[in-house]
Amino acid sequence: MGKVRKRKPNKTQNNILAENFDEELPVDSKENVIQTILDQLQGVNVEEKYCGLQTFALLIESPENIEQTIERGLVKVVAPLLLDPAGSIRNAAAGVLRNLSAVQLEVCDSLMEQDVMTPLLCYFHEHTETWTPEINSKTKSEDVDTIIQCINLLLNLCESSDLAVKYLGQSRVLSILLPRYLDIATFGCDIVSAVLQCLFVVVEDNPDVMEKVKSTCEKQLQELMVIENSDPSYLLIKTLAAGVIINTCGGNMAVLPVNVIHQIVTILAKTLSIDHRLLCNQLSSSVPLVNGSDKLESLQGKEAQVLENQLKSVSHMLDAQQRSIEIIANICSCDDANDEMDGPESSDSDELGDEDECSNGEEVALVEDKLPPEILEALISLEIFDKVWARTQLPADNVMLILEEYEGSKLIHKKVHTLQTRALLCVNNMISSLPVEHLGGVNGIYKIWVNIGKLVFKQSTDNLYILESATAVMRAALDKIKFRENGKSDECDLFRDLSLSDIEMMITGIKECQVPEIRSNLIRMIGILALLLVNKLNETSSNVICAITEFILEQAHKENEVWVLAEAIDTLVDLYSEDDTDALAAKVKLVEKLAVLAPILKNKARQQRKLPREYKVLVSTATSNLPRFIKYKKDRLSKS
């Protein structure tokens, strides 16, 4: 949902502050501003409190101010205003807290620590249980906006905090909202979609909420899915209803009737069939442009209302497509299968990750074989991969620039980038889950790799989320070629002419990369490239493999993150496990260099024990495999 619309402040002080916030305030001036806000928020006059909330909203528009405002306790003072007798104060408080919660997960943690949940849950108990919008009420739009902002605040808190989900479950809020607030005729699309967005998050992995939703509103959710209306607001509702239904099954879509599965995938396909680039192009033609004096032209009256409706429509469409892609990504994830195979204290040999599932052994099931046939058939017949892939493409640069410059469309600009990131992550899952022939064969996967490579290495972007998801896709594409074709297909001749100059950009990218996740993806990726070349050994390919090996070894010595070091070592072990590589191993003195790295890995593993589970598995596997591999390779080289 969009940011809260701020009324024009009726205090001259706010106009002055707004100008000052364009530049960095001195520490003492900022402290004075914060103290003034605190004094205003704790006043008894409605105008004074409203002015304080408006100033707070302006202050937190600069991310560097957020930490200080939280430390000074502004949140503790603002949160109780959700229960203020004045509707305008409740609305402004809900808007500023919701905007604050949308900044980043760490901010949500701070909001939880400052007990935002108590007044928020009380708001629902006091103001929503019997409320219905009054058509002729002067405060209708304000009350509707307050409820939407509070639901979105609840959504953001629950998305970042298990404790928030627990508090929600212990309250009566879900009983108040369900199924009553799923009635579009009474509450309108905006409130219904906000409730569904919240449900989409809180139902996931929450058995108590799953049962509650099933018992109270399963019928309403099914009715929402069959609405005959292609307006973006209704497509968003249909998409969210489908997502909630899947989540009530614990994400196991296969337990649903076949006709419901096809109905859900059809909704996702229809949502993703709308050209988001075309919508953005049309929107960019409508937004005001900067004139000769570097000021934006302003729209008035009917023109302004038309633009507002267009912005809302595009925003709903992007939200619907993002949720559709997230649903598809979850459908194509094989995490559940991995979890069943790996107990909480599995041994190293049990936890070899996705690569083990896709190994070259004849008897090991491929990841793509784990997708239920009825779901696979629906995804393929409705060309879901092509539709998701289209979402990885941004509108033209000039369109994005226009959307970024106009204040009213900045959120659209941000949502387009978020959609691209989610689409890349979904492509990553789909590459693993779909049979290679439905991805255009090895040639098709190679084209994906090349196209994403242009995004990673040839386009300047400082969006680390996009870079991380894009490098994950490149890695998955090469994994698919290596594991599906065993690296020996004639089609793998695509890489036969790979030279050092071709991987120069990748090596430079790894050297300059500050993000461990991206570094890890790139290291694994060039390792897979080298492995593919092992089957096509000649003077050129041998030189490339040796260069990649020496580079990975060099990076391993510089690496601070133990799990990235483990990834680098695991990559080398994979590469040189082939007997054909003995001569190359001797040439780069692999055994001696790995023997130097072994104690470094072991020492870092002791120092960095607090790691996510998947990283612990990687480190543990590399630590146990490395000594065995060194002994094995040393024995082979001594006999050659």
Question: What's the pLDDT tens digit per position in 426-484?
Answer: 999 999 899 988 898 888 998 898 888 887 776 556 678 888 888 899 889 988 888 66
Tokens representing residue 491 in the block: 């089609």
Mean pLDDT of 341-364: 39
Does any domain span residue 101? yes
Number of H helices, E strands in the chain: 32, 0
Report the CATH number that the domain containing residue 144 is assigned in CATH: 1.25.10.10
Residue 4: the pLDDT is 36
Instruction: Report yes or no: 188 and 143 within 8 Å, Cβ to Cβ.
Output: no
Higher pLDDT, 395 or 12: 395
pLDDT class of 544 with cuts at 50, 70, 90: confident
> What single letter denotes the amino acid at residue 272?
L
**CB atoms < 10 A from the CB of 26, how many?**
9
Provide the token pair at 378.
């629906």
Note the pLDDT tens digit of each residue in 120-178. Answer: 999 999 999 999 988 777 677 899 999 999 999 999 999 999 999 999 988 999 999 99
Structure tokens at 484: 């599906």
Question: 314 and 280 in contact (C-beta within 8 Å)?
Answer: yes
**Cα separation of 414 and 408, whole Å?**
12
Q: How far apart are CA 562 and CA 557, in angstroms?
A: 11
Tokens of 557: 């010595």
pLDDT at position 27 is 52
Cα torsion 146, 152, 154, 157 to 10°: value is: -140
The three-class DSSP label of residue 566 is helix
Which of 164, 182, 205 is the endpoint of a domain?
Answer: 164
Rg (CA), the chain: 27
Residue 36 lies in a domain: yes
Percent of the chain with pLDDT over 70: 85
255 in the Ramachandran plot: left (φ > 0), alpha (ψ -120 to 50) or beta? alpha
- Provide the pLDDT confidence category of residue 8 given band limits of 50, 70 and 90: very low
Q: Which of 180, 184, 205, 202 is nearest to 193 (CA)?
A: 184
Among 52-56, 231-235, 361-365, the least confident range: 361-365
Residues 6+ apart with CB under 8 A from 440: 447
Angle, vertex CA 163, rays to CA 158 and CA 169, nearest 5: 75
Q: What is the total residue count of the chain?
A: 640
For residue 87, what are its two tokens? Answer: 């509707």
Which pLDDT score, from 0 to 100, does residue 541 have? 83
Domain hosting 26: range is: 1-164
Mean pLDDT of 509-526: 84
Query: Any residues with CB less than 8 A from the CB of 443 and at least 6 apart, and which?
Result: 491, 494
Specify the long-range contacts of residues 2-6, CB closer than 8 Å, at least 24 apart.
2/312, 2/315, 2/411, 3/95, 3/99, 3/102, 3/411, 4/57, 4/91, 4/92, 4/94, 4/95, 4/96, 4/98, 4/99, 4/145, 4/149, 5/95, 5/145, 6/54, 6/57, 6/95
362 pLDDT band, cuts 50/70/90, is very low
User: How buried is 40 (Cβ within 10 angstroms: 0-12 exposed, 13-18 middle, 19+ buried)?
Assistant: buried
Tokens for 551, please give them: 């580079």
For the whole model, what pTM was predicted? Answer: 0.82
The token duo for 396 is 């033209």
Q: For 331-352, write each residue's pLDDT tens digit.
A: 998 554 344 334 333 333 333 3
Nearest of 225, 389, 245, 413 to residue 318 by alpha carbon = 413
Domain end point (choices 126, 144, 164): 164
Domain count, the chain: 2
- CA 318 – CA 305 distance, rounded (Å): 20
Is residue 454, in this structure, part of any structural domain at all?
no
Alpha carbon distances (Å) from 293 to 27, 296, 407 = 33, 9, 17
User: Is 476 part of a structural domain of the chain?
Assistant: no
Percentage of the chain surpassing pLDDT 90? 55
Cα separation, 181 vs 108, in Å, equals 25
CA angle 477, 482, 487 (to 5 degrees): 135
Q: Which residue has the higher pLDDT, 15 or 592?
A: 592
Q: Which residue has the tokens 């909704």?
A: 267
Answer yes or no: is 562 within a domain: yes
**Which DSSP symbol is given to 458?**
I
Query: What DSSP designation does 457 have?
Result: I
Q: What is the pLDDT of residue 460?
A: 56
Q: Mean per-residue pLDDT for 181-201?
A: 95
Give the end of a domain, one of 119, 137, 164.
164
- Phi–psi pair at 296, nearest 5 degrees: -75, 135
Q: Is residue 173 assigned to a domain?
A: no
Assess if residue 507 is contained within a domain: yes
411 occurs within a structural domain = no
